[in-house]
């Protein structure tokens, strides 16, 4: 099985990386692709450029064996919808099981995503708890897809939903950007040192409050 974690990654931090590492280990994934978006559909434009966010992902990945920085959304440009990304990954991997990892905040709004029903033909969803975003009641459309054992994901290439408990990481990119804008150095347990070094050297997030 292959895992994907997509995001704005403005910047990438351990709140993205550590839960993804737990998923990688617990599901015995072959690799985990980190895919920074070009333009995010559902939020304000990022402060760092797509090239900078991709570079930060490339700097973060080596700390986590099996993680790969994947530039396909940045190369494609424009608004990064997930379905075309999954179609493009499918072209590369054939019918191997594919797990799209997302936080509970993202899952709670998934029915607002472009062509969201098509996600299930292309990937499984693995939902990790994000502190401050408790999962709402299980929607009726989701119930038939939910599985409770990780092994069930390997039985088919797409279409299931697994809720996984992970060690909570109370870290947000918004807080990191705000701390940097105040002139602070984010604590070392928030983001990989090479990512902080890059932010610092390129003066990213210095003059903004969010």
Compute how many other C-beta atoms are within 10 angstroms of the C-beta atom of residue 116: 15
Helix locations, 42-164, DSSP H: 50-60, 72-76, 82-93, 104-108, 119-122
Q: Among 7, 84, 97, 186, indicate the residue that binds ligand ATP (CB under 6 A).
A: 7
Closest CA to 135 of 105, 159, 102, 160: 105
> Residue 1 CB, nearest distance to ligand ATP (Å)?
18
Decide if 43 contacts 8 (C-beta within 8 A).
yes
**Three-state SS at 36:** strand
> Residue 63 CB, nearest distance to ligand ATP (Å)?
17
CA separation for the pair 6, 83 (Å, rounded): 12
Q: Which residue has its beta carbon closest to ligand ATP?
A: 103
Work out the angle between the directed axes of helices 50-60 and 193-201 (0-180°, nearest 10): 150
> Residue 105 CB, nearest distance to ligand ATP (Å)?
5
Decide if 3 contacts 21 (C-beta within 8 A).
no
> Residue 94 CB, nearest distance to ligand ATP (Å)?
25
Q: Among 1, 2, 3, 15, indicate the residue that binds ligand ATP (CB under 6 A).
A: 15
> Residue 177 CB, nearest distance to ligand ATP (Å)?
7
What track of x and - describes contact with ligand ATP for positions 74 through 113 (by CB under 6 A)? ----------------------------xx-xx-------
What track of x and - describes contact with ligand ATP for positions 152 through 171 (by CB under 6 A)? -----------------x-x
Specify the DSSP class assigned to residue 165: -
Decide if 55 contacts 195 (C-beta within 8 A).
no
> Residue 149 CB, nearest distance to ligand ATP (Å)?
22
Report the residue number, 84 or 155, with the smaller CB distance to ligand ATP: 84
Report the residue number, 19 or 84, with the smaller CB distance to ligand ATP: 19
Binding interface with ligand ATP (CB under 6 A): 7-9, 15-16, 19, 102-103, 105-106, 128, 130, 169, 171-174
């Amino acid at each position: 099985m292959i895992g994907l974690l997509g995001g704005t990654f403005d910047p990438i931090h351990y709140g993205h990386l550590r839960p993804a590492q737990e998923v990688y280990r617990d599901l015995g994934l072959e690799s985990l692709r980190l895919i920074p978006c070009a333009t995010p559909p559902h939020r304000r434009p990022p402060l760092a450029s797509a090239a900078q966010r991709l570079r930060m992902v490339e700097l973060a990945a080596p700390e986590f064996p099996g993680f790969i920085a994947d530039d396909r959304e940045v190369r494609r440009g424009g608004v990064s919808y997930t379905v075309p990304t999954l179609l493009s990954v499918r072209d590369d991997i054939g019918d191997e099981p594919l797990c799209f990892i997302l936080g509970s905040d993202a899952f709670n709004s998934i029915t607002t995503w472009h062509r969201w029903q098509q996600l299930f033909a292309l990937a499984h969803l693995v939902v990790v708890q994000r502190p401050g975003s408790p999962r709402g009641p299980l929607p009726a459309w989701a119930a038939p897809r939910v599985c409770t054992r990780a092994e069930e994901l390997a039985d088919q290439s797409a279409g299931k939903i697994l809720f996984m408990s992970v060690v909570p990481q109370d870290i947000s990119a918004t807080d990191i950007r705000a701390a940097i804008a105040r002139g602070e150095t984010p604590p070392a347990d928030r983001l990989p040192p090479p990512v902080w070094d890059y932010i610092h050297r390129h003066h990213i997030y210095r003059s903004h409050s969010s």
